[in-house]
Structure 1
Amino acid sequence: MAMPTTQEFAETAYTAYGQSTGLRTHDGAPMPGWDELTDRTRAAWIQAAGAVALAAIAGLTGAPAGSTGPDVGDVVLVPVVPDENNGAAVAPAIVTRVWSRTTVNVRVLGDGNAITWRTSLLHVESLDDVLPGAAVWAWPGGES
């Protein structure tokens, strides 16, 4: 089964809105059908549905709202060996390659002289209980 398109989500939301209002607009006028809406109004419903879909994805994946995954240049957090990072168990890293929504390469910006590259790191929701140096990454704010 294919994932619905953003337009299909928008049509579903528009239909649900109509069902909840007795097929009346915000000002009590009869609601037009989806195909009778102006292009501008349909585009607004599609944009709203897309924003909801992205927020849902963010909630499921831990990605920032409005994002469907990491991009090159994003700052993420990685677990590091505290003795090699001035005592801190987490360091920021810059994404240098995106393999998928959950797998990236990074350049670690540790608090020390070493500049390291880490490859094929997998996304986790939290860095709590992760071993130092594990091949994982999390969004800032994703760990407690």
Structure 2
Amino acid sequence: MPPPTSRELAELAYDVYGKSTGGRNYQGLPMPDWDELTTAIQLAWIEAAGAIALNTIASLTGVSGTLEPSVGDVVLVPTDPADNNGATEAPAIITRVWSKTTINVRVLADSEATTWRTSLVYADSLAEAHGAAAVWTWPGGDD
């Protein structure tokens, strides 16, 4: 059985949070179902779960240095196939690190379309991102 993805961990955390508060958010209002959350809110929960997962893995393995993104690292991002010679992902160079899970990049598409993306959040795989453009993963993350 494969380990849970950051998205699965985020959904679990959101569900547990809801159960612990009687289904109420921090304002005391009823919590929507996960699927009713905006993409931005889902990505925030996914980022939090991803950070916890990365910190836990780092703590258990003692290899925290290899799990942190650095300026100049190559990552993968989803792309529009029309801008990338038919491919749905492209390499990107990290230009700014905000946290272990949030970065800015310069996308290196297989075309003349070279773009900047900001505040991308880590996803275990691009497939789990469900079409969101504001995500990144390490090469090999979709294996």
Q: Could you tell me the TM-score, scaled by structure 1's length?
A: 0.54
For residues 92 and 73 of structure 2, what CA distance do their matches in structure 1 show? Answer: 8
* 2:137 aligned partner: 138
Q: Greater RCO between the two (CA within 8 Å, min separation 6)?
A: 2
* 1:124 aligned partner: 123
**How many Å apart are 1:122 and its aligned residue?**
0.1
Amino acid at match of 2:58: I
Q: For structure 2, list consecutive stretches of 5 or more residues without a partner in the other structure.
A: 1-54
Give the alignment's Cα RMSD to 1 decimal.
Answer: 2.6
* 1:50 aligned partner: none
* 1:57 aligned partner: 58
| SS of structure 2 residue aligned to 1:67 | helix
User: Which 4+ residue blocks in structure 1 deviate beyond 6 angstroms?
Assistant: none
* 1:11 aligned partner: none
The answer to whether structure 1 residue 86 and structure 2 residue 69 are counterparts is: no
* 1:76 aligned partner: 75
Is the alpha carbon distance of 1:58 and 1:133 closer, same or farther for their aligned partners in structure 2, counting shifts above 3 Å? farther
**How many Å apart are 1:115 and its aligned residue?**
1.0
The answer to whether structure 1 residue 112 and structure 2 residue 111 are counterparts is: yes
| SS of structure 2 residue aligned to 1:116 | strand
**How many Å apart are 1:88 and its aligned residue?**
0.1
The answer to whether structure 1 residue 95 and structure 2 residue 94 are counterparts is: yes
For residues 95 and 131 of structure 2, what CA distance do their matches in structure 1 show? Answer: 21
Select the structure of larger CA radius of gyration: 1
Contact 1:77–1:138, Cα closer than 8 Å, also in 2: yes
**How many Å apart are 1:142 and its aligned residue?**
0.6
Kindly tell me the number of residue pairs found equivalent between the two proteins.
88
Indicate the percent of aligned positions where both proteins have the same amino acid. 56
Q: For structure 1, list consecutive stretches of 5 or more residues without a partner in the other structure.
A: 1-53
Q: Could you tell me the TM-score, scaled by structure 2's length?
A: 0.54
